[in-house]
Amino acid sequence: MRIHLIAVGQRMPGWVEAAYREYAGRMPPESTLQLVEVAAEKRGRKADLVRIAEREAERLRAATPRGARIVALDARGRQFDTPKLAVRLSGWLQDGRDVALWVGGPEGLTDAARAEAELLWSLSALTFPHPLVRVIVAEQLYRASSIINHHPYHRD
């Protein structure tokens, strides 16, 4: 199974890229994590933000592998502690389908994009900058996989 972190936005700061690569590189071969960046729409003073979010959602869809389970990161989603995320990841591994994690742009995901997702996942009640979300997701997936594989990285 491959996990595709499909995120709106390109050209992240070096520390984001390095931290993401660090955790993605630790993922076991049975659940590799790959980042797919899709272009953000340009935003001007009088931008149609609804249309912008729709176009970004189209790019997320286009980057999603056929048959992949779609999990949308959204503030309205379910929160998991790390052990529960490990249970969820274990279920995804058993299912064998690829997983596409969608991270929208500054306006978030459209209602239609959220409706396409099999799961809405909220990382926290806090608001994080989009670059940091990539790092948090990669680290938490690695931590969940370490629980599954009885690796000592996660300590209760």
Q: What is the H or E stretch that residue 37 is in?
A: strand 32-38
Per DSSP, 135 falls in state H
Q: What is the H or E stretch that residue 70 is in?
A: strand 69-78
125 annotated as a binding-site residue: yes
108 C-beta neighbours (distance < 10 Å), count: 18
64 annotated as a binding-site residue: no
For the chain, how many residues are written? 156
128 annotated as a binding-site residue: yes
145 annotated as a binding-site residue: no
104 annotated as a binding-site residue: yes
pTM: 0.93
Retrieve residue 105's tokens. 């742009």
3-state secondary structure of 64: coil
| Per-residue confidence (pLDDT) for residue 34, from 0 to 100 | 97
73 annotated as a binding-site residue: yes
What does the pLDDT profile of the chain (156 residues) look like in tens digits? 999 999 999 889 999 999 999 999 999 999 999 999 999 988 888 888 899 999 999 999 999 999 999 999 999 999 999 999 999 999 999 999 999 999 999 889 999 999 999 999 999 999 888 899 999 999 999 999 999 999 877 666
Domains and CATH numbers, the chain: 3-149 (3.40.1280.10)
